[in-house]
Structure 1
Amino acid sequence: MRWHHVQGVVRRSHSISMLFSRQDQNILFAASALHDVGYAPKLAGTGFHSLDGARYLERKGYSARLCALVAQHSCAYIEARLRMYSVELAHWVDERTPLRDALWWADMTTGPDGNTVGVHERIAEIRARYGPEDLVTVFIREAEPELVAAVERTEARLRAAGVEVR
């Protein structure tokens, strides 16, 4: 299922690429394809996929910006705090740009099967998948306002560019 999700995130990123320069498009596509690489069992050193993925990419020599986008994707700083990895995650700065919002938008509007979903549907699916007491559920509950805001900002940018939001 993870692969279907990643493929869907990449498709979503391509659908909004007109908002960005060629250079930013390339980084968005790469971050979309690699945002969940830290879930790979061979890379899961801490069990915190954002951190594990960024560490792997850094070891492989990927750009600092790509590593930071992967490390900080979809409000990872909140999960880092809950998992007590804030210091480690702080190695990569959250750029807080429209490109970062676009990555979060693509992630938070793509379900596990790779299909497009609304952000609230995606958040509900994550809560249901992990159960009420899981740390990920606590994280997603706390992150929801910020995740929704990133989605809304991206959709406003799309509308301003004359792109139909779906």
Structure 2
Amino acid sequence: MGTDQLMNGAMAKWAYAVAEAELSDPLPLRWAHSQGVAQRAAEVAAVLRGNAELLASAALLHDVGYAPRLAMTGFHPLDGARFLRDIHAADDRLVRLVANHSLALLEAEERGLRDVLEVEFPLLDDQRLVDALIYCDMTTTPDGKVTSVEARLAEITVRYGSDSLVGRFIRRAAPDVLAAVGRVDTALADQPR
């Protein structure tokens, strides 16, 4: 399924418009990353059994909480999820994916926000969908290009610093990120050609 085909659904069109409105002007690099993550979502659509549009929508919106006007706590998964829930009354599964993308619970713990995140936005039970969003985010560079998960983890560490809050989080999250990407790679390899 191509990106254009995924973006024709009502949820994905809405997600694109919201993400573009919030990110394109104030944070064009973040917007480029989000678009790249959505392109990766199109590449993994075949392994999601009916959740491809949900993944594409989450991919577009996963970093919306970085938008300056939405940054209330400074923790973008929580800020973005609250915005989607409170302002847009977005689909609960979409909001929970945004809130928990890329092992956000571990970063929330570093920030003293784990209990808040867990109570407001429980993690989805659909491991394949959770893994797919990790895969898409962690194999896309900040400017939207495809990269290896190892290069992405290294880039995050260098950008934030290994001793920073995000550096500590990414070090803790790395084994789980690698495992999630490995599961998606396996699922993709098992797809009929």
TM-score class, shorter: over 0.9
Q: C-alpha displacement at 1:129, in angstroms?
A: 0.5
Equivalent position to 1:66, from 89, 94, 101: 94
Superposed, 1:81-92 pairs within 5 Å as: 81-90=109-118, 91-92=120-121
Aligned to 1:3: 31
Q: What is the CA deviation profile of residues 45-87 of structure 1, one whole-angstrom value per residue up to 9, with x for unaligned ones? A: 0000000010001011001111100000000000000100011
- Residue 46 of structure 1: aligned partner: 73
Give how far 1:3 is off. Answer: 1.2
Residue 94 of structure 1: aligned partner: 123
Number of matched residues?
162
Cα RMSD (Å) of the superposition? Answer: 1.1
Q: Which residue of 2 aligns with 1:148?
A: 178
Aligned to 2:158: 128
**Structure 1 unaligned spans of 5+:** none
- The answer for unaligned runs of 5 or more in structure 2 is 1-28
**Could you tell me how far 1:4 is from its partner in structure 2?**
1.3
Superposition TM-score, scaled by structure 2 size: 0.81
Give the equivalent residue in structure 1 for 2:26: none
Post-superposition shift, 1:146?
A: 0.5
* Amino acid in structure 2 at the alignment position of 1:79: E
Give the CA deviation at 1:133.
2.1
User: What is the CA distance between 1:17 and its match in structure 2?
Assistant: 0.9
Name 2:64's counterpart in structure 1: 37
Q: Find the residue that maps to 2:132 and give its secondary structure.
A: helix
Match of 1:25 among 52, 69, 72: 52
Q: Structure 2 counterpart of 1:94, which letter?
A: L
| Number of the residue aligned with 1:77 | 105
- Supply the AA of the counterpart residue of 1:5: H
Q: 1:56 aligns with which of 78, 83, 88?
A: 83
Cα displacement string for residues 70-111 of structure 1 (whole angstroms, at most 9, x for unaligned residues): 000000000000100011101212125201111110000000
Q: TM-score, normalised by structure 1?
A: 0.94
1:111-122 residue pairs with structure 2 within 5 A?
Answer: 111-122=141-152
